[in-house]
Amino acid sequence: MSGELKRGLEGVLVTESELSFIDGDAGQLIYRGYSIEDLARDASYEEVLYLLWHGNLPNSEELDDFASELAAHRSVDDGVLDVARELAAQDESPMAAVRTLVSAMSAYDENADFEDVTDREVNLEKAKRITAKMPSVLAAYARFRRGDDYVEPKEDLSHAANFLYMLNGEEPNDVLAETFDMALVLHADHGLNASTFSAMVTSSTLSDMYSAVTSAVGTLAGSLHGGANANVMRMLKDIDDSDMDPVEWVEDALERGERVAGFGHRVYNVKDPRAKILGEKSEALGEAAGDMKWYEMSVAIEDYIGEEKGLAPNVDFYSASTYYQMGIPIDLYTPIFAVSRVGGWIAHVLEQYEDNRLIRPRARYTGDKDLTFPGIDER
């Protein structure tokens, strides 16, 4: 097969989308025409979901109705909770648990096997159920593994605040709720990243939305896609435990041939705009707590890597210290990524269904040809 080989499909255009745009040279990210800076500052996660799924920002009445519908779907069926308990008892990893629980949720959705998988209205109902329940099943799993009881969701809390409530058993203050909501907004969509493309490939076969989201969760679990924010925080804790200057610690790590987590990006050639916003949040949380060490450590590492390696931080670099200062366990950082990104996955699946074509690339064959088949005694 002739043609230029593009390993990893780098730079290959495979579809058209109205959902998000990235300018890697300018450090720009937009969702349906709106800058991520404006959305992070002024929009709730519920507004961003509506924007991604419907194509426009909701008015006040539409937002109230949409948020209420989401909230009404937060409760988890007993059968799914039983699965969460078993996964926690078996010490399953958080991402594997989320993958299994999303799949299990389909058994309790009467529309999961609806004959026409491209029916938009049915899919929007599935979208609400999946998006509303993912935080609930993650919180349930997290509580079960530490021996705590399941906390029923509250419909009068926002999507972000309710997750923190279900995770910790107490309602978060406004600062924590707003910070987490902003983090959800920042992670909601990001073009055709690996997990989004995985969801699109699955849906292009006319498989259902639960299967597409399960595929995406499994893809995000890979260390080259998700997990960097957890690795950043583990690095910061190692530096803190070592009592070394952070720059000296990083220098030693680089001399050993190790990578410094949270730097570089397949698309951005400059600082990730989401990292700028989360850096400000990390600083604000540190000031509020009277402990600036995580933020100051991060800034020192950013400055050094920028000067020595010419690399800028990505979204994971400052989300790490932000989540840590919120009291969120480190191994939940990537599942939280999924809790947010499910909105974008679903938006791309909806878009795929609207003008579907089976995604079926080809590979250039480099093996032998014209071999003579040997009999069993000749091998």
The per-residue DSSP string of 254-294 comes to HHTTPPPTTB--SS-SS--HHHHHHHHHHHHHHHHHT--HH
pLDDT attached to residue 8:
78
Q: Is the pLDDT of residue 2 over 70?
A: no
Residue 345, pLDDT > 90, answer yes
Interatomic CA distance for residues 242 and 327, integer angstroms: 22
Cα–Cα distance measured from residue 294 to residue 302, given in angstroms and rounded to the nearest whole number: 12
Half-sphere exposure of 267 (CA within 13 A, CB side): 20
**28-223+330-354 placed in CATH 1.10.580.10:** yes
Domain spanning 227-326, CATH architecture: Orthogonal Bundle (1.10)
What per-residue confidence (pLDDT) applies to 1?
56
Q: Which residues are catalytic?
A: 265, 316
Q: What is the pLDDT of residue 249?
A: 95
Mean pLDDT, rounded, for 110-115: 80
Average pLDDT over residues 350-379: 94
Measured CA to CA, the distance from residue 252 to residue 59 in angstroms comes to 53
What average pLDDT does this structure show over 287-304? 93
Task: Determine the number of helices (DSSP H) and then strands (DSSP E) in the chain.
Answer: 16, 3
- At 253, list the tokens: 């790590």
pLDDT at 75 exceeding the cut of 90: yes
Residue-wise pLDDT tens digits, 229-239: 899 999 999 99
Mean pLDDT of 341-354: 97
Question: What pLDDT, on a 0 to 100 scale, did the predictor assign at position 21?
Answer: 96
Q: Residue 149: how many CB atoms within 10 A of its CB? A: 9
pTM of the model: 0.94
pLDDT in the model for residue 104: 97
pLDDT value, residue 244? 93
In the 8-state DSSP scheme, what is residue 332?
A: G
Higher-pLDDT residue of 261 and 220 is 220
* Domains of the chain by residue range: 28-223+330-354, 227-326
Q: What percentage of the chain has pLDDT greater than the value 70? A: 99
Helices (H), the chain: 36-42, 45-54, 60-72, 78-89, 94-105, 120-145, 159-168, 174-187, 194-204, 209-220, 228-242, 246-255, 273-289, 293-309, 315-325, 333-354
CA angle 9, 336, 345 (to 5 degrees): 40
pLDDT of residue 197: 96
- pLDDT mean over 83-94: 97
